Chains A and B, each alone.
Chain A
Amino acid sequence: MSKGAHVGRFIALTGVTALALTACSGGGGSSSDGDGDSGGDVTLEFSQWWEPELPDGAFRELMDKFEAENPGITVDLLSGPYASTKEQVVAGAAAGTMSDVVGLDGAWVSDFADQGAITDLSAVMSEAGYDESQLASQVQVDGKTYMIPVVNFVYPMFTNDDLLGQAGVTAPPTNRTEFADAAAKVTSGDAHGWVLPLSLEAPNGIQNDVMSWVWESGGSMLKDGQPALTDNEAVTSATDYIQGLWDAGVIAPGSFTMKEQDKVEEFSNGRVGMMIDSLAHVNLIRESNPDLNFSISAIPAEDGYTGERGIPYASWGIGIAENSEHKAEAFKLVEFLMSEETNSELSSIANAFPGNTTSVPDFVEEDELFGTAFEIYQSGFPANEFTGLPVAEQLMRDFGEEFQKALDGQQSMQDALAAAQTKWEEEF
């Protein structure tokens, strides 16, 4: 027995193991790759974060319906945690393994389009002869559609009627002065008037809870598609207003690391009087705290403002992968989700507003609260200027950092806006 033989045998053994591993994996890999080959049957991969958000099995049911209507197409639902969806799409696009159909957030669209990850839907739609007029909105980059919002979550103002009532506020505030007044009255002990999530991990608080004050009064943070944070009366007045609320101590503590998920728990527990929040939370709040008396109204606008109000919203959008080999089939799925009937159904189970103009979700008639929200939605216009902007999430984060500095007293709000403007200009 020589040493060489021993070592040789060991290496051989390792080699065999490695081969075995690769062989097994080859087998595993091909079973998922070979979908499109047999008899024209197509398997569409649909990666999204919606399935875990919806009632158990509800989304799969919709897919089953689609499969029944479209023999030969099966849908493979791939669900991931929302917070990691973006990295997964970026990595998938880089490696060419992206799913055929992907769930998208408006804030990512421009970046994915730049990367060449998602396909130009305008072309796909015209090829399919699709009637675009039924779509409530489309998210475009350079004049081409890359994402279609399937359902929209609007962000009205939630008020805790009991807290407000105890403080002597009888009706939800309708303008900024009333809001500040109500917030001050509610604030005492553990209760605070308003809750403002500014976490930098998920900086969408900037969009939903800060910029909403600008849009609500008909303002804009952009000018001709370019950032306009300075010399902008609407932005200045909104940020100064929030600074005023902050200095008055009516905002619940913990803002700088608070996330949307924390905000809703503060509200459910009756510790804040008012919050700007997604309608998606209505049922959650009801389940969490059945005794909580709350209502929904439009976000207060500037005093005396009478124009049309912008209502912040976030969407579950849909797009098709550039590397998909089944774009036509993928679009059938998009069409299905956007159809009047399916869209109504999906909106109903998601507590969202439909992306199809003709769809009406059930809850609007059945539920007074949603009815009110739908009225607010229809009387204003959906506003989310971050949608479709390049590196939108980074823009929110840049703004968030400067905004935090200003609230913390390290710089004036004016300097914060100027600094954010400089950062934004670099990103555009």
Chain B
Amino acid sequence: MSQTTSPEAEARPTKAAPPPGADSARTRTIGRIKRTLTPYGFLSPTGVLLIILMVTPIIMVVSYSLLDRVITNKNPAFVGFENYVEVLTDPVFFTAVRNTLVFTISSVVVHFVIGLAFALLLNSPLLGNRSKAFFRVLYILPWLFTVAIVAVLWRLLLSPNGVINYLLGASGITDGNTEWLANPSTALAAVTFINIWSGYPFFMISLLAGLQGIPRDLYEAAKVDGAGALAQFRNVTLPQLKPIIISMALLDFIWTTQQFALIWMTTGGGPINSTEVLSTFTYKLAFTEYEFSVASASAVLVLLMSMVLAFFYVRHQKARD
């Protein structure tokens, strides 16, 4: 591993503390160098970890994507962008992109809406601290389970003979025979719903925190200007929460596009292609078709798309500083 070009590596020489300076000019120079190198020193443990354990495997994945039949072939040949062409000409890839977008965007939007609604309710001054704590615990529950069990639980709940159908049927809302996960027209919605259930608490908690951090005098000022409740919400609450909403939405977007186990364990990407997303598409390429090169190409494409997002994210961050 020769990642010598990284700034972290350059920073390492600071380990040897320089001898006490002889003249003031030299001391100042040393001081400036130290000042320049200090942040790299702070970043070095992170850098070392991320470079060895994250960037290296990513580079390996990128190199796989340029080779032919890596893993299964002992001496893979360099094939340039052939694997990318294969991915990009596969119609299922675009189905997967579309489903991923539908799944991710609706998850993020609803995470936000539900998260905000719950946060607003939990922030109500009309509630005592005890009841707040009680509901907070109830609302956090979906976050506490490993994805395998979330999948199994919802398969049970949504099965044609499951509780949900029973309740819907008994109350006369539906005929109680809906095959939520097994019907191509409802499967994606059902999977998205499960993901919404399991993911909103994180949003809720952050927004709740954000609400509590809004200075009260802003509301007082708005009231003096005669703003009603809705106007206050639009002019004070939302703008104040905007930074959280944007960062959470971006992070949630990246995380949701990675969601694999939940979809795989509930529908396996089916019925037909209706819940095929980029992660299940890539998984199948790698582990059932043994096309690790093509799977790597698909992963690199996902990485590139996310890097664009990350770029905007960092720019957004900078804009606020």
Contact = CB atoms under 8 A, between A and B. Distances in A.
Interface stretch (B114-122, B248-256, B266-274): B266-274
B288 A397 contact: yes
Interface in B147-176: 155, 159-161
Contacts of B184: 256, 404, 408
A86 interface: yes
A256 B44 contact: no
Contacts of B264: 201
Interface string B192-235: 00000000000000000000000000000000000000000000
Given A7-B37, A404-B272, A14 B14 contact: no
Contact of A2 (B34, B41, B159, B284): B34
Contact of A401 (B177, B183, B272): B272
Interface string B8-38: 0000101111100000000000110011011
A23 interface: no
A114 B16 CA distance: 52
A393 B18 CA distance: 63
A394 to B, nearest CB: 4
Contacts of A86: 287
A253 B44 contact: no
Given A257-B187, A391-B289, A394-B288, A11 B38 contact: no
B188 interface: no
A78 to B, nearest CB: 19
Contacts of A90: 71, 287, 290
B182 A257 contact: yes
Contacts of A115: 71-72, 290
Given A4-B14, A253-B177, A202 B271 contact: no
With most chain A CB atoms within 10 A of its CB, the pick from B14, B42, B265, B272 is B272
B94 to A, nearest CB: 16
Contacts of B177: 253
A89 to B, nearest CB: 10
A427 B284 CA distance: 13
B74 interface: yes
Interface string A250-272: 00111111100010001000010
A163 to B, nearest CB: 15
B35 A3 contact: yes
Contacts of A254: 159-161, 179, 181-182
A11 B41 contact: yes
Contacts of B16: 8
Contacts of B37: 4, 7
With most chain A CB atoms within 10 A of its CB, the pick from B16, B17, B269 is B17
A5 interface: yes
A87 interface: yes
A253 B182 contact: yes
Contacts of A12: 15
Nearest to B69: A114
B309 interface: no
B48 interface: yes
A116 interface: yes
B71 A94 contact: yes
A245 to B, nearest CB: 16
A393 B267 contact: no
B26 to A, nearest CB: 14
Interface in A1-29: 2-5, 7-8, 10-12, 14-15, 18
Interface residues on A, range: 35 or more
Contact of B272 (A5, A202, A408): A408
A8 B71 contact: no
Contact of B38 (A4, A203, A393): A4
A8 B159 contact: no
B45 interface: yes
Contact of A257 (B18, B41, B71, B267): B267
Contact of B268 (A11, A257, A394): A257
B267 A258 contact: no
Contacts of B266: 257
A5 B155 CA distance: 58
Contacts of B71: 90, 94, 115
A376 to B, nearest CB: 30
A199 interface: yes
A393 B273 contact: no
A199 B38 contact: no
A341 interface: no
A247 to B, nearest CB: 16
A8 B45 contact: no
A401 B290 contact: no
B41 to A, nearest CB: 4
Interface in A394-408: 394, 397, 400-401, 404-405, 408
A318 interface: no
A190 interface: yes
A111 interface: yes
With most chain B CB atoms within 10 A of its CB, the pick from A4, A262, A393, A394 is A4
Contacts of B272: 256, 401, 404-405, 408, 410
Contact of B265 (A114, A201, A393): A201
B48 A5 contact: no
Nearest to A392: B288
A102 interface: no
B160 A201 contact: no
Given A4-B38, A115-B71, A253-B177, A404 B15 contact: no
Given A90-B290, A393-B288, A404-B272, 7 more contacts: A2-B34, A7-B38, A200-B268, A254-B181, A394-B288, A400-B270, A427-B289
Interface of A: 2-5, 7-8, 10-12, 14-15, 18, 86-87, 90, 94, 111, 114-116, 190, 198-203, 252-258, 262, 266, 271, 391, 393-394, 397, 400-401, 404-405, 408, 410, 427
Which 5 residue pairs are nearest across A and B when measured between Cβ atoms? A201-B268, A256-B271, A7-B41, A200-B270, A253-B160
